[in-house]
Amino acid sequence: MNKNLAFADYVVFIVYFVIVAGYGYSIYRKRKKNEHDAKAYFLAEGTLTWWAIGASLIASNISAEQFIGMSGEGFFLGIAVAAYEWLAAIALIIVAVWFIPVYLKNHIYTMPQFLKTRYNESVALIMAVFWLFLYVFVNLTSILYLGAVAINGIAGGGYLHVIMVGLSIFALLISLGGMKVVAYTDVIQVAVLIIGGLVTTYIALTTVGEYFGVGQNAIAGFKVLLREAPEHFKMIIPKPTATSSQNDINKYLTFPGLLSYAAGIWIINLNYWGCNQYITQRALGADLQTARTGILFAGILKLFMPLIVMLPGIAAYVLYKDGHLPQLVGGKDGAYSAILTFLPTGLKGLSVAALTAAIVASLAGKVNSISTIYTLDIHKKYFQKDADERKQVYTGRIAVFGAMILAVLFTWNDLLGIGGVGGFTYIQKYTGFISPGVFAMFFLGMFWKRTTGAAAITGVLMGFILSVVFNEFAPQWFGNDTFFYTAYSNGKGGFEIPFHICMGLSFLFTMIAMIAVSFAGPKVNPKAFMLDKEMFKLKPQTTALIVIILLIIAALYVKFW
């Protein structure tokens, strides 16, 4: 027993573990007769309900980098960071209405398969290998490392490697059962995640109320936040002027006001939610209406995520500013852990369970996607073409083990330097470099019949190269103030273009290059998808869900603009 967690906390956590493991095993037992059905294992084809799809999307999306990283950005930026969550809901509408029908009509089960069907096998192989490296060495490692660090901090320290192994084993137990087990256990995981997160937010607000003399009342505590940090409740970060402080400039570099909404944040969200095996896999085995409803259900849940992952950061800022948070260490990324110190015995166990639920769900979902891409798009095509379904499932399980072992090895002593740059920044940096090219390739591939395979390869290469140029070299090469961008002092002796603007510019020039290359080909590419209006028609209940999401988002922006 340590000074941070009491016996009751361990009891709460163990109960959570037993419930999730027991439920996962019961789901596995039910599908054991289909144990060697490859599509059932990788996609849970036809068996996921809309609520399982929606909950699994959120459970896979929310992980330690959101709890720690987004709370940290709440501490630093305020409510502006909620745009990632609220605009994700709009991105999910776009995916549900326009992307998913294309995938389902063309029987797409993996993202490399989409590229092979629409372009050619070379494009598919290049991206399959690339995605495997990205998922293993960027996503899986950062989720595991940041999650272990976070829980280790709550537990009092000294258990990092034990926690790392424990998280890996827990995720393996779930993921070896296949997508159905992953998705249905995600329902419990997301419930624990939301309940634990809301409890932490409630404690944060009541603590603020207590320290500022308005009583232990969450509503009163929220009003204190509005009064003490009004600048933290503005969605749009103002553009720096000659008199702006370095802190204000840093905020703009992180989230450049209205320009973020011009391109960057849309590319991040649409690429993540619409062109990402890790996410789309949940809906690819369902019928269109079930998939759409599940995705929109995830959109509704997304609207409430800032309450859990952002508001505690603002509470930490107000407490820290007034000298009530001496336990804050590690700057903004320590905000969430500092808030957790206020939780009473028992609730700390619930907060550990919530964090674990977020981490394990993300790990399990990620390794399932890794095994799906490896088995269906590489192993079966290039190493064992005659593999039957039993062998495919066996290969998928070996891939799950292999991916997790690699992740543990590379995070054991932080070989990739994730701790140096921060898990949230690490993920954003490396995925952001390829997002413009990948999204351009998918977008044009779906909706412009002239796009060619040569254009797709051009898009991937140019998107990456331009992202590196704009992020690392443009101010040095072309100056700090041009027609396309303005670079600002980063406080470290250099100048930077805001990351979202870099993404927007990379996407713009990549699209232009792809269109130019495609004009050298036929007017209609033989591999173009045949689209018809019927694919995109919506049922009344779907339209109603979309209207509800848009009205809530509009109200939030009117309130906090």
pLDDT in tens, the chain (561 residues): 345 678 888 888 888 888 887 877 787 777 655 555 566 666 655 667 898 888 888 877 887 777 777 888 899 889 998 998 999 999 999 999 999 999 998 888 888 889 999 999 988 898 888 889 888 988 888 888 888 877 887 777 778 889 899 999 888 887 777 767 777 777 777 888 888 889 889 999 999 999 998 888 899 999 999 999 999 999 999 999 888 899 899 889 888 988 889 878 899 899 989 998 877 777 887 889 999 999 999 999 999 999 888 999 999 999 999 888 887 766 777 788 888 888 888 788 888 888 888 888 888 888 888 888 888 889 888 888 888 878 888 888 899 899 999 999 998 888 877 766 555 666 766 777 888 999 999 999 999 999 999 999 999 999 999 999 998 899 999 999 999 999 999 888 889 999 899 999 999 999 999 999 999 999 999 999 888 888 899 999 999 999 999 999 999 999 988
User: Which SS3 state, helix, strand or coil, does residue 481 take?
Assistant: strand
Phi-psi label, residue 539: left if phi above 0, alpha if psi -120 to 50, beta otherwise:
beta
Q: Can you give the pLDDT at residue 1?
A: 34
Give pLDDT tens digits for 259-306. 889 878 899 899 989 998 877 777 887 889 999 999 999 999 999 999
| SS3 assignment for 239-252 | CCCCCCCHHHHHHH
Q: How far is CA 509 from CA 21, 346, 459, in A?
A: 48, 54, 9
At residue 99, the pLDDT reads 94
Tell me what pLDDT residue 2 has. Answer: 44
Residue 174: predicted pLDDT: 79
Q: How many Cα atoms occupy the beta-carbon half-sphere of 459 within 13 Å?
A: 30
Structure tokens, 556: 């939030």
136 touches 367 (CB < 8 A): no
- In tens, the pLDDT along 180-196 reads 777 777 777 788 888 88
Is residue 531 within 8 A of residue 447, CB to CB? The reply is yes
CATH 1.20.1730.10, domain 7-28+41-560, yes or no:
yes
Residue 490, token pair as written in the block: 């980063």
Burial class (CB in 10 A: 0-12, 13-18, 19+), 228: middle
Closest CA to 118 of 435, 530, 437: 530
Task: Classify residue 492 by burial, with Cβ atoms within 10 Å: 0-12, 13-18, 19+.
Answer: exposed
DSSP 84-111: HHHHHHHHHHHIIIIIHHHHHHTT--SH
Name the residue ranges covered by the structural domains of the chain: 7-28+41-560
Angle between helices 179-211 and 288-309 (to 10 degrees): 30
pTM over 0.85: yes
